[in-house]
Structure formats: C-alpha cells, structure tokens
Amino acid sequence: MSQAVVLEPAEVWAYLVSRELLPADARGAVREVGDGNMNRVFLAIPDDTAIPSLAVKQAPPWIQRLGPSAPMSPERALIEARALRTFAEYAPRQTPRVLDVDPTRFAFTMEDLSDLTVLRTALNDGASLGRTSAEVGELVGRVTFATSVAGATPQARAALIADSVNPLLAEVTLQYLLGDPFVAAEHNHHHPALGAAVESLRRDPAVRTELAALRAAFGAKTQALVHGDLHSGSVMVGVRDGEPVVRVIDPEFAMVGPIGLDLGLYIANVVIAALRSYATGATARGAAHLATVADCWDAFCAAWRDGWPGRVDPLLDDGWLLRELRDTWRDTLGYAAVELVRRVAGYSHASDLETLPDPGPASAVVLSLGHKLLVDREICGSRPDPRALARLVSTSWEAQQ
Amino acid sequence: MSQAVVLEPAEVWAYLVSRELLPADARGAVREVGDGNMNRVFLAIPDDTAIPSLAVKQAPPWIQRLGPSAPMSPERALIEARALRTFAEYAPRQTPRVLDVDPTRFAFTMEDLSDLTVLRTALNDGASLGRTSAEVGELVGRVTFATSVAGATPQARAALIADSVNPLLAEVTLQYLLGDPFVAAEHNHHHPALGAAVESLRRDPAVRTELAALRAAFGAKTQALVHGDLHSGSVMVGVRDGEPVVRVIDPEFAMVGPIGLDLGLYIANVVIAALRSYATGATARGAAHLATVADCWDAFCAAWRDGWPGRVDPLLDDGWLLRELRDTWRDTLGYAAVELVRRVAGYSHASDLETLPDPGPASAVVLSLGHKLLVDREICGSRPDPRALARLVSTSWEAQQ
C-alpha cells in the first residue's frame, strides 16, 4: 500500500475542489478533528457561510493512533461509506449525509457534524436522552428489517453479505468485546473493589458457554446489516433549527450479523449512563434514562411491524415474526451483558463510570448485571420486557446501597 | 452470455487434450451421460485402458433440460467445482477427484464415476446401506467443522462466505423444498389417498411458523459450508478393488448455511428408502436402513469431536459444543421434515415411493412423519436421539397397517 493515499491537512481543500465538492474559488480553513483511534477526520469550513462545511474521513493503511507499525486495511473507510449509504436509504433521519466516496484514497466526504455532541459526552454532562433511544431503535429496526430475509431478496442479501464481510474489524470485536474481558488478558483492568467479582465471572462455566454462543452467533448469524459498534460514542446529538437531531456515526464495523448486537451495545450504554446518574444522586435522571430502554425496543419493534406487510417473503408468518423478535431480545440481553462486562473489566472502559468520584459502586452493579444477564437471560422474564430490564437495573442499584 | 462456452460432444476429446488432461496421441470415445436436469456431463473413455477415463461437467447458461428459454447463470459449475475442492480437502475419501477447472467455459473435469450407482437407484434395487450413512455423516461432519467458527478463522470464513453466495440456487431450494410443497402451487402433486392430510398440513398454522423458521435459517444461518442438496440422488456407491466406495456428488447448491440442512435431507431419504422396504415386505432391510440414521449422526458428531481439540477459537467451550450439536439435531429434524413433505406433496417426488405398486400407504406415513416432526421436533426427545427417530418411523409404519 503506497503512502500516497494518505491525505494531509494541507491537501484537503484542493482535494475537495478536485472532487467538485467545493467551488474552485471558495476560500476557507481546514482543521483536523476527532479522537481518531482508527482514522483521520478533517473539517473544511468555507469563509462564505452560505457554503456548507464538510467533513472528510480518511483511513490510512494503519491504525491512526498507532501509526505505520500497526497496519490495518484502509478498506474500512469504504465499508463505512457503504454502510452509511445503506443506513441513509432506510433511516435517512438518523444517518449523516455522505456526499462523495473516493475508493482510490479510501476517503469519503460527509456533512459536518461538529455542531453536534457525542452522546456519551452529553450524558456525562447531565443531558437527558429525550427521543435519542427511540431514534436509535428506529434506525436499527428500519435497517435490519430492510436487510433481513423479510426485507430483502436472496439476491440482494447475497450481494450485501459478499460486500460486507469485514473480518479485520470482526477480529477487533471478537477480541475486545467478546474475548479479553472474560479471561486474564494483557490490557484488561478493573476497579480494585471488583477483584473477587471479576474472578468469579471469569471462573463461571456458564459464562463461558454463553460467551461462546454469542461469539458463534457473531460469526455465523447473518440476520441483517448491523452497525457493529453502536455504543453511546457512536451517536451524536444536538439541536438544529430548534429541533433535536440524532445521528448514528462510525459504522466501520458494519457487517451482516446478529441484530441483537446493535441493540445490546446501545442499551448497555444507556444502563451505564443511568447508573452514573444514580451514583451522582441524579435519581430522576437515571430513571428517565432507563425508561428509554423501552423507547428503543418499542421503536425497533415498530419499525419491523411497519415493514412487515411489505415483506418480500410471504411465507414468513406472524408467528415467525413474534419468535424472531423474542430471539432478538434474547440476543440483545446477551450482547448487552458482554458490553456491561467489557466496560468495567476489559480494556475499553466507559467515561461515564471512570469520571465518577468513586467508580466503584456503579461499576460493581454494571459487572453484576452483566454476569446475571449473561447466565440467565430470563431473569427479566421469558418475553421481551424492556421495562423489567429497567426495573432490574434500578433494584440492583438500590440493593447495592 | 455467448453460446461459444457450450461444449458439444464432438469437441470434448480435443478440449481435454488442450487442457493437457489427455495425451495428444490418445484415442477413444466420448459419450454424453447423466440425467442432466441442469448441466451436461460427458465421459471420455480412452481406448488404452491404462489411461483413466474422465468426466467433464459443463454448465450451459441455461437449465439444460429446458434449453435457452430458461437462462441460469453458468457460474454454478464454478461454485460446484469450488465446493468439491473444499470437500476434497476435508473429506477426500467421499469426494470425487477434480482434475481441472475451466472458468472460461464454466466446466470442470473429474474422475469418471460411471462404475458407481446412484444411491437411490441402488436402494430401489434392494441394496443395503452398509457404511454409506456413516460415510455421509463423516463427510458432513468434517466439512462443516472445518468451515464453522470452530474450524476456520474469521478471515477464512469471510472469504468462503463471499465466494459461496449462491442466490440463484438458493431460490430453487426456497421454492421447491421450502415453499411450494406447503401451499397450493402449480407443479405440486400427490397421491389421491393423501388429499385430506395434505390439506390439513397446509392449513396448520404451526407448520407455517416452523417452515418460516427453516426458511429464515436457510437464508441467515451461515454456520458452515453445506452441500445443499444432499439426498440419495447426490450420493454414488459401488465397489472398487473389492472395497465399498461412497462419493458425494453434485454440490452445485453449495452455500454457507445451516448444518442441519445436509443431515436432514440425507436422513429423510434414508427414512423414505426404509418405508419403501417396509412396503415391499422387506422388513429387516427397512429396519437396517433406519439403523443407519444413528450411524450418520454418530459419524457426524465424531467428526466434530475429532476436530474439537484443534478448534481455532479456544473460547468455544465443551458446553457450547453440546449445545451446538443439539441445535444441529433440531435443525436436522426440521429440514428432514420438509424433505419428507416435498417428496410426497411437492414437485419432485422420490422414485423410492413412486415405483411401488401402490405408493399410497408409504407416502401417507412419509407425509404424516413430516407433519409431526415439523410441528413437534421434541417428539423424539429433547436431546439428539437418532434411535428414537428410527423407532418413530417403524412404529408409524406399523400403526398404518
């Protein structure tokens, strides 16, 4: 891979003009933004405020934070751009607008989102979720219905599956979400008060079997196009023209996989945000966060029910739909559970907890919920019941006090 | 698609010389063979018996039996050749040897199998199954383990899945196996004695929901590379050098799908052969056929247990293996059930039954077993128990008398 594909800030303006995304005579500034673990993101801001500013996301052939010593296929930018195109097709309201995709430089240009805030940051600062969870549930519901056996023909699904195989990023998920947190791995860390609980989780054979089932489903359940990394760092929120806006970003982990993965990651992070609120004494806000778990699930189900009368396979019946939604809830709880465990016992912790004066009590509840949900997914009942999950979280917090 | 790709018998000898598969100075005869629904198959038989004869299989850009008015992508020949290569890697004893693949003419050359007999034909003529079911179970076990999340890395599986998407033939299976037999469709037919039972099956909402689950799993359960059409017409048997030989042929439906599909189709056809034996009064042979259901399942499980210590994913534990085998048994019963229904109520019936003096009684048992297994897969117990399935078949036959 030649280094020539890498875009440098000094080149970005001319690059956008050459792609006909900016007028040749426009003037303005470029700055590099983003916490850039993997990729580079540049903003181009025209002096003329009538010209919309643009964001360019570019994947160097390595992990940006680590540099050329950590090679990583730049194809991920094209996977992300392709996923954004599909998301925009079915969930345009929640998807950033992509204006241009450049396969030769593994870059794409999209609307500038720098007026919005990362959801996790907003929640840490005390924001409420409002309709955010419902918007996320609707996006997941609309995209997964449209790309499932109910919404897409075998031909369309075959093309989607072939285009979306994403083994490099799948390995990242298998390691950091579905692997390391459950064993003694190099970069794991946890709060000192959690030692015994982490040990007990890692020794529990039931945890191992459930984890294995989730790993296998991740690798072999090609239900629908999923975002693959849908935590509260992949959602941006804000207000435009007086209206709340929600954008789901960064689908570079996108793949055809289990639907419960996206819902589980998102819901786990709502639970974590709620526990942060409880830990700071903001009990009402915590309860309000938890109430949105049902908003998310209900919007997801509503999107499936909306699509259902137009399903491409008339031999899928209502009984199957009920069963599929129930199975998805079960998977949701499973992937939520591993996300809860990862955020307190793995490598990548949640700032929601880490920035608390004492992350101990909330982290202990997060870990214990993860353990419980993993080994007994019927702890919230045998049918999808997001309100029961919310109650389990709040009673677990109270019991801890 | 130019017609120039189509091989004609007069060309085959020169073609094989040009591919360096026959010596330039060899002489011999070419004949077209095979019941050729989809493809053409030619045998090239050298006069010099020291030179092995060869089979050339070629896919015209249409369904061979229907001609140019029924276009069908000739890529199927390459899918088949690729599947045979993978099968040969893990189950060489049961896989025909492929000597050459020609992507420009959608043709491949393999060992001549014309000394062997199609299993269904042999069984109809009164042959016993011997080790055939065990050989088939071993092939399915070895190929599916090697291509599952336990046997293959995410990278290898991604490549396999992208290479193996097979939507055209998937549509055939969705229609003729998993669709039409369960509704009033044009080419369906059934024995007059079955009218009420067929009606009752088609009206049963539980049948519809289970069928939907099997359709969805067919389209979205990418467990492993499966043959996709593994009935007793896709197995050849015979004797070479005094030893029984078994070859699994015709994997043009190959895809990454649910493992239970292959086991279910094969086992259903063993059940049908057994019921033919019962119907002809060959009770001992029928019982012997049924006993091989356990041989097939046990050989399948043994192949998984053989591969297990070398699994690529050490986080898959023994608890998961047990659960995976149990789920596979459940899927096996489901796909066996639809195959039983198809063979008496769909388009493509089984000659085992059709050539009986009165196909009625055996067909009635086949249909009733299909209906029962579809709606209650625990009728044979909640754990994999192929012997219980065999008992269910023989008691169902006795009850019918």
DSSP state letters, A143-211 = HHHHHSTTTS-HHHHHHHHHHH--HHHHHHHHHHTTTGGGS--TT----GGGHHHHHHHHH-HHHHHHH
**For residues B267 and B293, is the Cβ–Cβ distance under 8 A?**
yes
Give me the residue label for tokens 């079955």: B194
- Within 10 Å of residue A69's Cβ, how many Cβ atoms? 7
Name the least confident of A113-117, B65-69, B216-220, B322-326. B65-69
Which residues contact residue B296 at a Cβ distance below 8 angstroms, ignoring those fewer than 6 apart? B133, B134, B136, B137, B263, B266, B267, B270, B386
Helix (H) or strand (E) holding B235: strand B235-240
The closest CB to that of B154, out of A170, A223, A315, belongs to: A170
- Read off the pLDDT band of B6 (50, 70, 90): confident
Interface test mutation site (partner B, options A149, A171, A327, max chain B beta carbons within 10 A): A149
What does pLDDT average to over chain B?
Answer: 95
Q: What are the φ/ψ torsions at residue A242 (nearest 5 degrees)?
A: 80, 0
Cβ separation of B167 and A158 shorter than 8 Å?
yes
Q: Is B383 left (phi over 0), alpha (psi -120 to 50) or beta?
A: beta
What's the confidence (pLDDT) of residue A35? 62
Residue B36's pLDDT band, with cuts at 50, 70 and 90, is low
CA angle in degrees (0–180, nearest 5) for B160-B163-B169: 115
Task: Name all domains of chain A by residue range, CATH numbers in brackets.
Answer: 3-111 (3.30.200.20), 117-400 (3.90.1200.10)
Q: Give B-chain residues touching A215 at CB under 8 angstroms.
A: 149, 313, 315-316
B74 pLDDT band, cuts 50/70/90, is confident
Q: Which residues of A touch B316 (CB under 8 A)?
A: 212, 215-216
Nearest Cα residue to B212 out of A315, A162, A183, A330: A315
The chain B residue lying nearest A182, using CA atoms, is B315
The answer to whether A221 contacts chain B (CB < 8 Å) is yes
Contact between A268 and A339 under an 8 Å Cβ cutoff? The reply is yes
The pLDDT of residue A64 is 82
Full DSSP string of B43-57: EEEESSTTSPPEEEE
Is residue B207 within 8 Å of B201, Cβ to Cβ? yes
Chain B residue at shortest CA distance from A327: B213
pLDDT attached to residue B1: 40
Tell me the CA distances in angstroms from B1 to B4, B6, B75, B105, B368, one per residue in order: 8, 10, 11, 11, 45
What amino acid occupies position B72?
M
Residue-level pLDDT, tens digit, chain A, 401 residues = 444 678 889 999 999 999 999 999 999 999 998 666 788 999 999 999 999 999 999 998 888 888 888 888 888 899 999 999 999 999 999 999 999 999 999 999 999 999 999 999 999 999 999 999 999 999 999 999 999 999 999 999 999 999 888 898 999 999 999 999 999 999 999 999 999 999 999 999 999 999 999 999 999 999 999 999 999 999 999 999 999 999 999 999 999 999 999 999 999 999 999 999 999 999 999 999 999 999 999 999 999 999 999 999 999 999 999 999 999 999 999 999 999 999 999 999 999 999 999 999 999 999 999 999 999 999 998 899 999 999 999 999 999 88
Question: Is there a contact between B269 and B234 (Cβ–Cβ < 8 Å)?
Answer: no
pLDDT of residue A401: 86
Do B161 and A166 make contact, defined as CB atoms within 8 angstroms?
no
Q: How far is residue A275's CA from residue A290's CA, in Å, rounded to a whole number?
A: 9
| Token pair in block for residue B152 | 């293959």
Cα separation, A267 vs A68, whole angstroms: 35
Q: How far is the C-alpha of B358 from the C-alpha of A71, rounded, in Å?
A: 69
Counted across chains A and B, CB pairs separated by less than 8 A come out at: 123
Q: Cβ separation of B219 and A154 shorter than 8 Å?
A: yes
Contact yes or no for B165 and A171 at CB 8 A: no
Paired tokens of B268? 């259903």
Model pLDDT, residue A37: 74
Chain A partners within 8 Å of B182 (Cβ): 315
Q: Which of residues 71-90 of A touch B (CB under 8 A)?
A: none
Cβ contact, residue pair B206, A319, below 8 Å:
yes
Contacts of B233 (CB under 8 A, 6+ apart): B118, B119, B120, B250
CA-based nearest residue in chain A for residue B166: A158
Report residue B39's pLDDT band, with 50, 70 and 90 as the boundaries.
Answer: confident
Residues of chain B contacting A223 with CB distance shorter than 8 Å: 220
pLDDT in tens, B147-205: 999 999 999 999 999 988 889 899 999 999 999 999 999 999 999 999 999 999 999 99
CB contact under 8 A, B323 and A171: no
Give the β-pairing of B243-248 and B235-240: antiparallel
Helix axes A154-164, B154-164, angle to 10 degrees: 150
CB contact under 8 A, A220 and B149: yes
What is this model's ipTM? Answer: 0.93
Using the predicted structure, report yes or no on whether residue B5 has a pLDDT greater than 80. Answer: no
Cα dist from B244 to A368, B119, B121, B291, whole Å: 58, 12, 16, 19
Interface test with A, best of B72, B75, B76, B161 (most A CBs within 10 A): B161
Query: Considering only CB atoms, which chain B residues are within 8 Å of A304?
Result: none
Under an 8 A CB cutoff, do A148 and B211 touch? no
Give A209's contacts in chain B (Cβ within 8 Å). 317, 319-320, 323
pLDDT at B35: 62
The tokens for A393 are 């979280």
Given a cut of 60, is residue B310 above it in pLDDT? yes
Residue B69: the pLDDT is 86
Alpha-carbon dihedral sign for residues B321, B323, B324, B328: positive
User: In B, which residues are within 8 Å of A170 by CB distance?
Assistant: 154, 158
Buried b (16+ CB within 10 A) or exposed e, B329-350: bebbbbbbbbbbbbbbbbeebb
* pLDDT of res. A1: 40
Task: Write the pLDDT tens digit of every residue in B20-32.
Answer: 999 999 999 999 9
Q: Which residue has the higher pLDDT, B168 or B268?
A: B268
pLDDT for residue B234 is more than 90 = yes
Which residues of A, range 274-333, sit inside 8 Å of B by Cβ? 313, 315-317, 319-320, 323-324
**Confidence grade of residue B2 (pLDDT, cut at 50, 70, 90):** very low
Would you place residue B325 in the very low, low, confident or very high pLDDT band (cuts 50, 70, 90)?
very high
